[in-house]
Amino acid sequence: MKQILYEGLIQYVLENQDRFYRVAYSYTRHQEDALDVVQNAVCKALEAHESIKNEDAIKTWFYRILINESLSVLKKRKRFLFSDDELGQEEVYYEKGYEQDDLEKELDRLDLDVQVIIKLRFFEEMSLKEISCITGLNLNTVKTKLYRGLKQLKENIQEAEIWAN
């Protein structure tokens, strides 16, 4: 049984690696960091594959690892403050069907937990129940944070449009 789950995990990772990179990049905004996040998440998942109870849990279990790794990179980055000269120019990642615009900037203004919920719901098309499992939050808390976050996002966008005109 464990061998079947292990093989299922490997298959899931291989089929969804582009999605994982996109999620990691949405947090880190750096190509190398996003690649490191995905690599670390895959390694941790493979090391801890025995903790998977059933094949249906692989998706939420892996996304939880991926998001925790992304947040870990952000925390580490906050410890070190670099000038723009030290960082150099970062190459921007574009994926077909996704355009970088003001929405991304407005999303960054929201609390990190609200960003996680909105990104998983709308960019990864996950159900609220899956998001609840991934974040470890109560389903009603996820709903509340989602709707409050969307309301705040709408207000921020309208405010930005007013200032732009």
- One-letter identity of residue 94: Y
Q: Residue 103: which region, alpha, beta or left (left: phi > 0; alpha: psi -120 to 50)?
A: alpha
Average pLDDT, the chain: 84
Residue 142 belongs to a domain with what CATH number? 1.10.10.10
Give the integer Cα–Cα distance in Å for 134 and 6.
Answer: 20
Among the candidates 80, 111, 135, a domain finishes at 80
In this prediction, residue 165 carries a pLDDT of 63
Residue 120 shares a structural domain with residue 156: yes
Confirm if 128 and 139 have CB atoms less than 8 A apart: yes
**pLDDT beyond 90 at 75:** no
Residue 41 belongs to a domain with what CATH number? 1.10.1740.10
Give the integer Cα–Cα distance in Å for 50 and 134.
Answer: 18
For residue 148, the enclosing domain spans 101-165
* Burial of 24 from C-beta contacts in 10 A (0-12 / 13-18 / 19+): buried
Q: What is the pLDDT confidence band of residue 140, given thresholds at 50, 70 and 90? A: very high
Tell me 36's DSSP state: H
Q: Is residue 90 part of a domain?
A: no
**pLDDT beyond 80 at 91:** no
Q: What is the pLDDT confidence band of residue 80, given thresholds at 50, 70 and 90? A: low
Residue 2 shares a structural domain with residue 72: yes
Confirm if 37 and 63 have CB atoms less than 8 A apart: no
Residue 2 shares a structural domain with residue 76: yes
Q: Is residue 96 part of a domain?
A: no
pTM for the model stands at 0.74
Residue 121 shares a structural domain with residue 65: no
Q: Is residue 93 part of a domain?
A: no
Among the candidates 80, 113, 132, a domain finishes at 80
Each residue's pLDDT tens digit, 12-51: 999 999 999 999 999 888 999 999 999 999 999 999 988 8
Q: Is residue 88 part of a domain?
A: no
Q: How many domains does the chain have?
A: 2
